[in-house]
Amino acid sequence: MSDETADRGQPRAATGWGLAASAYVFTVVMMGTTLPTPLYPLYEERFGFGTAFTTQLFAIYALGVIAALVLFGRLSDGLGRRPVLAAGVVFSIASAVLFLIGSNVGLLLVGRVLSGLAAGIFTSTATVTVLENAPPGRERLAGSLATAANMGGLGLGIMMSGFLARFASGPLFTPFLVNAITLVIAGAALLLVRDRTRGNPAAVRLQLPGIPPESRSIFLAASPGAVTGFAICGLYSAVAPSFIGQSLHLTSTAVTGSVVFLLFGASATAQLLFRGQTDRQLIIGGTLTMIVSMGALVLALTLSSLPILVVSAVLAGAGQGLVFMTGMRAITAATEPDRRTEATTSYFVLAYVFMSVPAIGVGFLAAEVGLAAATTIFALAVAAVGVLGLVAAPRFAAR
């Protein structure tokens, strides 16, 4: 066998183009998952549903994420990274097309499920793909790009949708058309992405959640951060457009998109800026920041103040980013390598369950006591769970 023939079976070397392409694809797909957020009031007006159904429309996305984590979490190990990411891009394009049609609520529900499946696939596969595409000496850059693509993509999708809906024609059409075009480009960009896996269909299996014995203690300690952090993300993503309109009397999708963008942008920024601090410092600082953000949220609703709401979003995002990042890396460090995917899948499943369930609760509670009161109850619950996170903080490394 010639050297040339032998080399064909080897993955090509990582390049800057592959790193850029993988980060771009990750970003664009995550953008698509949050496009509907600023548009929920427009859908409520068009189809005549209320906040309770809006939260369900959001929650069904989270169910899609969880399903994808279980069904497709280990698929790339057997089929390769690029084929699985390509499937995620296809799901994302299909979701955009259904929202482009947008003729009935059923299409929106199916579109959100498909968007959740795409997000779940990318959550479990895209981060490692970005890291595997790092040229020698660029590993730290790749880690930062993966973080920015994930949380930053979520924020950019919200902001883009809000501004296009406000300033372009067809507010319920144009954001998804632009997203569909960027996704087609992403599909082509996958050709530049390095795939280190050789492909072994026999290795394909479900990735069932589980908590290995060696990491159960730290998993329990990290759980309050995952619960509160993603519950806050769910609240702002599903309910913020309604309370910005109802409590602050602001109907601009650009304003809504900007406020929620600040949450996800602050999450990504905080992770990049403070990742060098000790786990214990990050857990304590992040948890306290989230508790303060909930106080600011209640104050913003009480005073009908947009500036205070902006402060709340920034603090909430920064706190969420710090506690979730820290919990993930602590669980990974405490778990044997061959069971890390199992443990991190469990962590993500916990996070996405609490991203959806509290948001649904706020939606139904708002119908009984009003949106401001329901949000205040949510804020108090987050603060109470946050205290549990502070109690568990000594379990994290102090150096």
Give the model confidence (pLDDT) of 358-373 as tens digits.
888 888 888 888 888 8
- 319 vs 107: CA distance, rounded Å: 35
Q: Indicate the pLDDT class of residue 6, thresholds 50, 70 and 90.
A: very low
- Return the percentage of the chain with pLDDT > 70, whole number: 93
Q: Indicate the pLDDT class of residue 4, thresholds 50, 70 and 90.
A: very low
- The answer to whether residues 317 and 265 touch, using CB atoms and an 8 Å cutoff, is yes
- Domain of 390 in residue numbering reads as 209-399
Domain membership flag for residue 217: yes
Q: Considering only CA atoms, which of 137, 179, 170, 177 is closest in space to residue 31?
A: 179
Cα 203 off chain centre by: 27
Does 177 share its domain with 315? no
Give residue 112's pLDDT. Answer: 94
Select from 170, 200, 230 the last residue of a domain. Answer: 200
Give residue 203's pLDDT. Answer: 61
- The answer to whether residues 362 and 285 touch, using CB atoms and an 8 Å cutoff, is no
Q: What is the mean pLDDT of residues 60-79?
A: 83
| In the predicted structure, residue 5 carries a pLDDT above the cut 60 | no
Structure-model confidence comparison of residues 200 and 127, the more confident one: 127
Domain membership flag for residue 2: no
What CATH number should be reported for the domain holding residue 385? 1.20.1250.20
Q: Considering only CA atoms, which of 143, 147, 392, 144 is closest in space to residue 280?
A: 392
Give residue 292's pLDDT. Answer: 96
Does 237 share its domain with 357? yes
Q: What is the mean pLDDT of residues 145-159?
A: 87
Give the model confidence (pLDDT) of 337-360 as tens digits.
777 778 888 888 898 888 888 888
pTM across the whole model? 0.84
Mean pLDDT (the chain, rounded): 86
Within a 10 A sphere around the Cβ of 6, how many other Cβ atoms?
9
Which uninterrupted H or E stretch holds 85? Answer: helix 81-101
Give the model confidence (pLDDT) of 382-391 as tens digits.
999 999 999 9
Q: Residue 191: CB partners within 8 Å, gap ≥ 6? A: none
Give the model confidence (pLDDT) of 158-201 as tens digits.
999 999 999 999 999 999 999 999 999 999 999 999 887 666 66
Give residue 57's pLDDT. Answer: 82
Does 155 share its domain with 226? no
Please report the DSSP string for 174-243 in residue order: HHHHHHHHHHHHHHHHGGGS-------GGG---------GGGHHHHHHHHHHHHHHHHHHHHHHHTHHHH
- Tokens found for residue 202: 């026999």
Region class of 80: left (phi > 0), else alpha (psi between -120 and 50), else beta? left
Does 49 share its domain with 94? yes
- 33 vs 99: CA distance, rounded Å: 12
Q: What is the mean pLDDT of residues 317-330?
A: 91
Q: What is the mean pLDDT of residues 139-148?
A: 79
Select from 200, 218, 244 the last residue of a domain. Answer: 200
Select from 167, 200, 233 the last residue of a domain. Answer: 200
Does 37 share its domain with 93? yes
Q: How many domains does the chain have?
A: 2
Give residue 309's pLDDT. Answer: 93
Does 31 share its domain with 165? yes
Domain membership flag for residue 255: yes
Q: Residue 334: CB partners within 8 Å, gap ≥ 6? A: 214, 215, 217, 218
Give the model confidence (pLDDT) of 310-319 as tens digits.
999 999 999 9
| In the predicted structure, residue 268 carries a pLDDT above the cut 60 | yes
- Return the percentage of the chain with pLDDT > 90, whole number: 44
- 81 vs 126: CA distance, rounded Å: 8
Domain membership flag for residue 314: yes
Give the model confidence (pLDDT) of 213-228 as tens digits.
888 999 999 999 999 9
